[in-house]
Homo-oligomer: A and B are copies of this chain.
Amino acid sequence: MKIGELAKQSGLSTHTLRFYEKQGLIRASTRSESNYRIYSQADLSAVRFVKRSRDMGFSLEEVGVFLSIRADKPAHVCREAKDLAQQKIFEVEQKIHEMQQMLTALHKLSDACCGGNESAEFCSIIEVLDYTSVEQDEGYSVPAGKGKA
């Protein structure tokens, strides 16, 4: 199949497929007489492998490592793959934790504000941003008084 068909089958754009090739990730197993990229079913599998890896959060570089393991399994050991997975789990957990902290702060920010058409003169959001730090573990000391608005 040609690149357009591969794009359809894989859910990636032709641009992206050529970009991946430039990055050394995937390449067509053959070329037609007119120099068109011709992909096999195995190529499609490889592309899907890449897409799945990306969807799980692996970077193109990490995907490259997986691909090289996949290309010559006996030359590699399980630990290599598992280390990558564990590292990624750690990274994703970190990020989720950070975002949950943000979310907590954002809810405090949002909840304090009436959100109406009142003048922002005493807007709690602006006040909280003026006096609160996100780093704290607890006790975001919202400036006293005012309550909503």
Report A's interface with B, CB cutoff 8 A. Answer: 45, 48-49, 52-53, 55-57, 66, 69-70, 73-83, 85-86, 88-89, 92-93, 95-96, 99-100, 102-103, 105-107, 109-110, 113-123, 125-126, 129-130, 132-135, 149
A-B contact pairs, 29 of them (CB 8 A): A45-B130, A53-B129, A56-B109, A56-B129, A57-B102, A69-B123, A70-B130, A73-B119, A73-B122, A73-B123, A76-B120, A77-B117, A78-B116, A78-B117, A78-B118, A78-B123, A79-B116, A81-B113, A81-B123, A82-B114, A82-B115, A82-B125, A83-B115, A85-B110, A85-B113, A85-B125, A92-B103, A92-B106, A99-B99
